[in-house]
Amino acid sequence: MSRLPVRKTYKLFIGGAFPRSESGRTYDAEGANVARGSRKDLRDAVRIARQAGAGWSGMTAYNRGQVVYRVAEMMEARRAELAGLSSGADEVERAIDRVVWYAGWADKLAQVVGSANPVAGPYFNFTIPEPTGVVGILAPEPPLLGLVSRLAPVLVGGNTAVVVASEAHPLVAIELAECLATADVPPGVVNVITGLRRELAPQLASHMDVVALDVTGADGDLAELERLGAENVKRIVRGKADGQSPYEIAAFLELKTVWHPIGM
Amino acid sequence: MIKDKREVARRGEAAAIPTAWEYAPAPESREIVHFEDRYGLYIGGQFLEPLSNERYTTIDPAREEPLAEIAQAGKADVDRAVKAAREAYAERWSQLRPSERAKYLFRIARILQERSREFAVVESLNGGKPIRESRDVDLPLAAAHFFYYAGWADKLEYAFPNRTPRPIGVAGQIIPWNFPLLMLAWKIAPALAAGNTVVLKPAETTPLSALLFCDVVRQAELPPGVVNIVTGDGRTGAELVSHPDVDKIAFTGSTEVGKAIQRTLAGSGKRLTLELGGKAANIIFDDAPLDQAVEGIINGIYFNQGHVCCAGSRLFVEESIYETVISKLKRRMKTLRVGDPLDKNTDVGAINSKQQLDKIGSLVQSGIDEGAEIYQPPCKLPERGYWFVPTVFTNVAQSYRIAQEEIFGPVLSVLTFRTPDEAIEKANNTPYGLSAGVWTEKGSRILAMAQKLRAGVVWANTYNRFDPASPFGGYKESGFGREGGRHGLEPYVALDGS
**Closest residue of A to B457, CA-based?**
A257
Contact A260 B144 (CB under 8 A): no
- pLDDT band, residue B498 (cuts 50/70/90): very low
Closest Cα in chain A, distance from residue B468 (Å): 7
Contact A120 B465 (CB under 8 A): no
Domain A26-261's class?
Answer: alpha beta
Which of B430, B388, B433, B436 shows the shortest CA–CA distance to B408?
B388
- B49 in active site: no
Residues 243-262 of B with CB under 8 A from A: 255, 258-260, 262
Cα separation, A224 vs B403, whole angstroms: 33
Model confidence pLDDT, tens digit, residues B415-434: 999 999 999 999 999 999 99
Model confidence pLDDT, tens digit, residues B280-317: 999 999 999 999 999 999 999 999 999 999 999 999 99
| 3-state SS assignment for residue A35 | strand
Which of B293, B411, B283, B284 shows the shortest CA–CA distance to B348?
B411
Using CB atoms, which residue from B263, B455, B497 is nearest to A230?
Answer: B263
Contact A121 B446 (CB under 8 A): no
Model confidence pLDDT, tens digit, residues B155-191: 999 999 999 999 999 999 999 999 999 999 999 999 9
Closest Cα in chain A, distance from residue B273 (Å): 10
Contact of A46 with A162, CB cutoff 8 Å = yes
Angle between helices B322-334 and B290-302 (to 10 degrees): 60
Helices (H), B115-177: 116-127, 131-133, 139-152, 156-159
Contacts of B255 in chain A (CB under 8 A): 233
What is the reported pLDDT for B9? Answer: 46
Contacts of A233 in chain B (CB under 8 A): 255, 258-259, 262, 274, 276, 476-480
* Residue B18 CA: distances (Å) to CA of B9, B13, B14, B333: 16, 11, 10, 17
- B309 in active site: yes
What is the reported pLDDT for B359? Answer: 98
Across B61-108, the runs of DSSP E, i.e. the strands, are 65-71
Contact B259 A260 (CB under 8 A): no
Assess A198–B contact: CB distance below 8 Å, yes or no: no
What is the reported pLDDT for B496? Answer: 77
* Positions of chain A with pLDDT lower than 70, given as ranges: none
What is the reported pLDDT for B2? Answer: 45
Contacts of A112 in chain B (CB under 8 A): 161
Contact A117 B470 (CB under 8 A): yes
Eight-state DSSP code of residue A5: P
Chains A and B form CB pairs within 8 A to the count of 119
At residue B290's C-alpha, the angle toward residues B345 and B397, to 5°, is 95
Domain B281-467's class?
Answer: alpha beta
**Number of residues in chain B:** 498
Contact of B79 with B231, CB cutoff 8 Å = no
Residue B392 is inside which H or E element, if any? strand B391-394
- On the 0-12 / 13-18 / 19+ scale of CB atoms within 10 A, B392 is buried
In chain B, count H helices and then E strands: 17, 19
**Number of residues in chain A:** 264
The DSSP line for A78-100 is THHHHHHHSS-HHHHHHHHHHHH
What is the reported pLDDT for B469? Answer: 98
B10-48 residues labelled b (16+ CB within 10 A) or e (exposed): eeeeeeeeeeeeeeeeeebebeebebeeebbbbbbbeeb
Residues 53-112 of A with CB under 8 A from B: 112
Contacts of A153 in chain B (CB under 8 A): none
Closest Cα in chain A, distance from residue B300 (Å): 14
- Which residues, listed in sequence order, are joined to residue A32 by a DSSP beta bridge? A29
| CATH fold for domain B41-276+478-495 | Aldehyde Dehydrogenase; Chain A, domain 1 (3.40.605)
- pLDDT band, residue B17 (cuts 50/70/90): low
Sequence ranges of the domains in chain B: 41-276+478-495, 281-467
ipTM: 0.96
Assess A223–B contact: CB distance below 8 Å, yes or no: yes
Assess A4–B contact: CB distance below 8 Å, yes or no: no
Helices (H), chain A: 39-58, 61-77, 79-85, 89-103, 109-113, 145-156, 171-181, 197-206, 222-229, 246-250
Contact of B170 with B196, CB cutoff 8 Å = yes
- Which residues, listed in sequence order, are joined to residue A258 by a DSSP beta bridge? A126, B458
What is the reported pLDDT for B8? Answer: 45
**Closest residue of B to A215, CA-based?**
B267
Cα separation, A31 vs B391, whole angstroms: 68
The DSSP line for B419-484 is SHHHHHHHHT-SS--SEEEEE-S-HHHHHHHHHHS--SEEEES--S---TTS-B--SGGGEE--BS
Residue B266 pLDDT greater than 50, yes or no: yes
Q: What are phi and psi of B436, to 5 degrees?
A: -160, 160
Assess A115–B contact: CB distance below 8 Å, yes or no: yes
pTM reported for the whole predicted model: 0.95
Region of residue B279 (left: phi > 0; alpha: psi -120 to 50; beta: else): beta
